[in-house]
Amino acid sequence: MTTNADADGAARSPQRPETGPESESKPRRRAPAGAAVLREDVTEAIRAAVFGELAAVGYARMSIEGIARRAGVGKTAVYRRWRSKLHLVLDLVSAIAVQGLPAPDTGTLEGDLRLLYEVTSRALRHPVASQVIPDLQAEAARNPEIAEALQKALREGQAGVANGIVEAARERGEIRADVDGELALDLMSGPLYWRAVVIRGPKPPKGYLESLTRATAAALKAL
């Protein structure tokens, strides 16, 4: 008896011939010979393992062997999806940019900024993010491909949300219609990234996010 196997080696049940009147008129669908079926659960396990390895040993010491071991799969399962650890990390970093942050919609500029800062602050304090981002930034200084992907993930992902907040504030008349979008993005995003990523400070003290919200809103209205 033969079985069909997907590209990750998982066996599937053998196909049984159809019988009865319907089988005479219903065409049978067959998978193309040699087609590779990549299991999504294995792909997700590998992605999670990459973040774990980055946090544990850093990009320079990370290996396909270590990723496979952490994910509980063979090295071939990793290589079927990505041809190197560089392409694996680039793919994951680029995916972060696509996912982005949730766009606040509270009805006021200060409300939107407060929600943005709450979400961003929690994300940057996550143990994995707090270790992975600085490590990738150091690697980006030596690798232009990682630098480009990291900039896309960190800047473009944040820019989409920030631009939405600015546009909503324009429509409500809270800020000027001709406000400089780039300067607004710097004002909105800079403080938290400086604290969490550059100086890697502790959790913001009580009341810090509220004060930052008021200061940023005032600065945007003054532009």
pLDDT single digits (tens) 140-162:
888 888 888 777 777 776 778 88
Element containing residue 11 per DSSP (H, E): strand 11-12
Give per-residue pLDDT as tens, 1-50: 444 445 565 444 444 444 444 444 444 545 444 445 789 999 999 999 99
The pairing of beta strand 11-12 with beta strand 4-5: antiparallel
For 115-136, the pLDDT digits (tens) are: 999 988 887 777 667 777 778 8
What phi and psi, each to the nearest 5 degrees, are found at residue 182? -65, -45
DSSP assignment, residue 194? I
pLDDT, position 3:
45
Torsion of CA 157, 160, 162, 163, to 10 degrees: 160
The answer to whether the beta carbons of residues 130 and 196 sit under 8 Å apart is yes
Cα–Cα distances in angstroms (integers) from residue 131 to residues 103, 123, 124, 158, 198, in the given order: 25, 12, 10, 19, 12
The confidence band for 177, taking pLDDT boundaries of 50, 70 and 90, is very high
CB count, 10 Å around CB of 57? Answer: 13
What pLDDT score does 209 carry? Answer: 94
Better pLDDT: 218 or 1: 218
Phi first, then psi: what are they for 99, rounded to 5°? -70, -45
> Is the predicted pLDDT of residue 110 greater than 90, yes or no?
yes
Q: What is the pLDDT of residue 21?
A: 46
The reported pLDDT for the residue numbered 24 is 46
| Structure confidence at residue 195 as a pLDDT band (50, 70, 90) | confident
- The contacts of residue 79 (CB under 8 Å, 6+ apart) are 64
d(CA 198, CA 129): 13
Q: Residue 97 has what pLDDT?
A: 54
CB 169 within 8 A of CB 221: no
